[in-house]
Amino acid sequence: MPKARSNDEEIPFEAALTRLEEVVDRLEQGDLELEQSLKAFEEGVTLSKRCASQLDDAEKRIEVLVREGGKWIARPFANDPDETAEPDAEDGDFEEVD
């Protein structure tokens, strides 16, 4: 029998996403009793939040280091290698420049 995971134990993103898809499929079938539907919905919300959090963490970790004026500057990862980004003067966020 598989070992039950505690709520604090981190589920890998792919496993959480797969389980979320299974929960959504069960709910969409519409044949669950009310209590089962509520439990499935609660599980789905928890999994959705976990996946969103893990994606947010991954996005924050993806940075490109650029050397400017003798200093290393962290820049957001850009899909297009020709894209560059510079901090916005008003709020310090990065913006694209050509």
- pLDDT of residue 57 exceeding 70, the answer is yes
Question: Average model confidence (pLDDT) for the chain?
Answer: 78
Same domain for 55 and 18?
A: yes
Same domain for 19 and 56?
A: yes
By residue range, what is the domain housing residue 77? 62-97
Task: Report the distance separating Cα 26 and Cα 89, nearest Å.
Answer: 49
- pLDDT of residue 23 exceeding 50, the answer is yes
- pLDDT of residue 4 exceeding 50, the answer is no
Residue 28 within any structural domain of the chain? yes
Average pLDDT over residues 12-26: 97
Task: Report the distance separating Cα 97 and Cα 68, nearest Å.
Answer: 15
Q: Are 55 and 47 in contact (CB under 8 A)?
A: no
Task: Report the distance separating Cα 62 and Cα 79, nearest Å.
Answer: 11
- pLDDT of residue 42 exceeding 90, the answer is yes
pLDDT band at 98 (very low <50, low <70, confident <90, very high): very low
Q: What total of structural domains would you count in the chain?
A: 2
Say if residue 26 is exposed, middle or buried (CB neighbours under 10 Å; 0-12, 13-18, 19+).
middle
